[in-house]
Structure 1
């Protein structure tokens, strides 16, 4: 479906961000990086909102945007700190658990679970992620692993809430995204404190280009597309598509980083893409069935039998 392509684009952009973010955290620290990323994002979104906003945002719209801003900022904080204290292998496996956690949470909230075949497809996709990142081998659990696991849970909550709170409502996607970026900018700027000035001084031309890419590509573009798509599909489907992120990270590493594909890596890619495709079909079929009006298919009123006298 065409609405799936923007989510795949987000997965590709996020997959390209690992090396960039890692280098920047070394140069200026985690909080400073997140503060600059959000400040640039907010600076880009506010003029757009001022130009195109057709009406004044409602209190509920601002409240929902603020809540989503808090959950999104929490995901990035736990994820960034987690990656700094664990292996990329463990981080890739743990964050991919969102593929399973999101449909479970969505089922609890909506009191309507997807069939087992969807979860089987999601398990296959997670298994593919394990193969993708298992080159150096899984490392013993650490504090960083716990942070990544928390990030996966919060990401599932964020994706589910994005759909549950905004779908079918007269909310503006640009407004919600702008509020999210402003919330993150305020939080991380306050948390970064003096380290923000140190990072600004330490960054050279290449670092500023990298921060700008993270802000405009991995934040503004990704947040807009993610929210736009989730409001038009299910959180489970969106999470499954975003779960292809490790595939693109590997392919980008091969194309730009000079890495080599192995048979295990190819098998992992095949499992992720195959599981994602199967899960998409299951979710689409379920959604079509749910949208059918009662009595619209293969239902005919019963004709009473002709009564005969005795």
Structure 2
């Protein structure tokens, strides 16, 4: 199995974590402010990583800390927009708009780095956007504050992926340390914002505590560590397409937990997303050469 395929499969696991995070975030926002929730999830994630990997986190290079500060600031932007977006719009709209990272990543890559998407990637992008729309949209989007915030979340996430992809390519950057120290900087930023704009409190119910811990340990700690390491072996545009699976996992969870039944249109959208991932991971030129033989 190619290294890039392995990295992409690791990112599918990350996407699963983030697919379930919408419901958990919505539950936790019933007791916590957005900045307080994000401060808890990032700082708990960093504390857990520090306990488990304290030896590997010793003596980070200046370059690693500098990049961690940059990506941590990007994470602060992503999760501020995401959490407020979930609060002020529907989960369906939030899931669709935040998944638009698949579009903004190659667009920003072209605008800032002049990287033209391949024809196959262009086809995958069209399949992905169509699949997301079929899966998540039951009616026309209405312009609202939450929708705008979710779009800004997708743009911020695209910028984060491109910064991280190019950063981890450097020999002086420790991707493992980057994946963890960026959580510390994001958590500290969120804590400062919560002290300024909110009255920080701890969760009051076991259900919200459980949501916060899952968000911290799996949807934040494990997810961003895996992503930082995997970006050494794949591209930001590939990652953007993989993240289209978030609405798929979110819908599966909603089916089993909330007993929501999707329309045939939505099921077709989910299949189209899975097909786009298969097309992206398949070496079509190799298949054509085999047929010619």
- TM-score under structure 2 length normalisation: 0.89
Q: Work out the CA distance in 1 between the residues paired with 2:264 and 2:168.
A: 43
1:77 corresponds to: 80
1:89·1:138 contact (CA, 8 Å) conserved in 2?
no
**Structural mapping, 1:69-218, within 5 Å:** 69-135=72-138, 137-193=139-195, 199-200=201-202, 202-218=203-219
2:78·2:157 contact (CA, 8 Å) conserved in 1?
yes
Q: Work out the CA distance in 1 between the residues paired with 2:206 and 2:92.
A: 30
Q: Work out the CA distance in 1 between the residues paired with 2:54 and 2:210.
A: 26
1:34 corresponds to: 38
- TM-score under structure 1 length normalisation: 0.84
Calculate the aligned-residue CA RMSD, in Å.
2.1
Deviation sequence 1:167-188 (CA, Å, 0-9, x none): 1424222311222111112111
Q: CA deviation at 1:18?
A: 1.1
| Structure 1 range deviating more: 185-194 or 58-67 | 185-194
1:37·1:212 contact (CA, 8 Å) conserved in 2?
yes
2:96·2:247 contact (CA, 8 Å) conserved in 1?
no
Q: CA deviation at 1:105?
A: 2.2
Q: Which runs of 5+ in 2 are unaligned?
A: 286-293
Pair 1:52–1:214, CA change in 2 (3 A)? same
Q: Work out the CA distance in 2 between the residues paired with 1:205 and 1:173.
A: 34
Q: CA deviation at 1:115?
A: 1.9
1:259 corresponds to: 260
2:179·2:226 contact (CA, 8 Å) conserved in 1?
no
| Structure 1 range deviating more: 102-111 or 265-274 | 102-111
Q: Work out the CA distance in 2 between the residues paired with 1:10 and 1:198.
A: 28
Q: Which runs of 5+ in 1 are unaligned?
A: 286-310
Q: CA deviation at 1:50?
A: 2.4
Q: CA deviation at 1:262?
A: 2.4
Q: Work out the CA distance in 2 between the residues paired with 1:198 and 1:59.
A: 32
1:168·1:231 contact (CA, 8 Å) conserved in 2?
no
Q: Work out the CA distance in 2 between the residues paired with 1:279 and 1:260.
A: 29
1:83·1:144 contact (CA, 8 Å) conserved in 2?
yes
1:291 corresponds to: none
* 2:11 alignment partner, one of 7, 12, 29: 7
Q: Work out the CA distance in 2 between the residues paired with 1:269 and 1:249.
A: 11
1:44 corresponds to: 48
2:68 is the counterpart of 1:65: yes
2:95·2:246 contact (CA, 8 Å) conserved in 1?
no
2:179·2:229 contact (CA, 8 Å) conserved in 1?
no
1:98·1:152 contact (CA, 8 Å) conserved in 2?
yes
**Structural mapping, 1:268-287, within 5 Å:** 268-281=269-282
Q: CA deviation at 1:113?
A: 1.2
Pair 1:155–1:125, CA change in 2 (3 A)? same
Q: Work out the CA distance in 2 between the residues paired with 1:178 and 1:134.
A: 35
2:28 corresponds to: 24
Deviation sequence 1:130-159 (CA, Å, 0-9, x none): 111123x23411111111111111100001
Q: CA deviation at 1:196?
A: 7.0
Q: CA deviation at 1:9?
A: 0.6
Q: Work out the CA distance in 2 between the residues paired with 1:238 and 1:29.
A: 30
Q: Work out the CA distance in 1 between the residues paired with 2:165 and 2:188.
A: 24
1:288 corresponds to: none
| Structure 1 range deviating more: 211-220 or 227-236 | 227-236
Q: Work out the CA distance in 1 between the residues paired with 2:22 and 2:274.
A: 20
Number of corresponding residues? 282
